[in-house]
Amino acid sequence: MSLSAFKNKERKRNEVMKNQNSANETGLVSERGSDDRLDLGALFDGHIAREFADQDVDATMETMVPEPYVQCVPTMTGGLGGQGVRSFYSEHFVNQIPKDAKVTPISRTIGKDQVVDEFIISFTHDTQWDYILPGIPPTGKQVEIPHVVVMRFENGKVAHEHIYWDQASVLLQVGLLDPVNLPVAGVEQARKLVGVAQRRGDSHSR
């Protein structure tokens, strides 16, 4: 999904946020944080769109609980607590997103208070993006890398994100890892996943 497609969902995101606020005000969401009456998929999409399409840190933080956390498992980056997450977004993530970054959905699983999303992020590494390559100057290389995001909600807000990808594949694609005698794959990893998912009818668009 291109960034322009995310922007076309602005009205839907606004409606989601209105519903989210209404649920909180009317008590539809229990004190324990059950979100079974909310559209968690739409809330997930709204959060991602505010990161990637709007590139608005304040708007992104509005979709989260006051003290969330974000953990990028491969690089051990992210943020803990409201200030930590805000700093991560503003200094290492949102303001560094490459202009051609694209998200291709693969699959989604929705539980009672949690969404697990599988997708591929494609981009040109033409700017330092600490989210995925912390401290690495731009290489100009094309990258396509499968991601899995586990996003938990409390009272209609994002409570935490666990984010997974294959860092060896990223390093190989930007020329920082020699694949000789190593069981690693580059862009073929993402492309094979897309092909398999499409053949089995698992791939979906949002």
CATH of domain 3-200: 3.10.450.50
Q: What is the DSSP string of 40-98?
A: HHHHHHHHHHHHHTS--HHHHHHTEEEEEEEEETTTTEEEEHHHHHHHHIIIIIGGG--
Note the pTM of the prediction, 2 decimals: 0.81
Q: How far is CA 8 from the centre of its chain?
A: 18
Query: Residue 201: its pLDDT value, please?
Result: 75
d(CA 117, CA 126): 26
Q: What is the mean pLDDT of each run of 10 residues along the chain (206 residues)?
A: 48 46 39 62 96 96 98 97 98 96 95 97 97 97 98 97 98 97 97 91 62
Q: What are the distances in angstroms from CA 53 to CA 60, 75, 118, 146?
A: 11, 24, 18, 19
Please name the amino acid found at residue 89: Y
Query: Residue 24: its pLDDT value, please?
Result: 42
Query: Residue 200: its pLDDT value, please?
Result: 76
CB 206 within 8 A of CB 157: no
Domain locations in the chain? 3-200
Neighbours of 42 (CB within 10 A): 18
d(CA 140, CA 138): 6
Q: How far is CA 170 from the centre of its chain?
A: 16
d(CA 66, CA 81): 8
Lay out the sheet containing 64-72: strands in order across.
77-80, 64-72, 157-164, 142-154, 114-124, 102-110
Element at 200 (helix H, strand E): helix 187-200
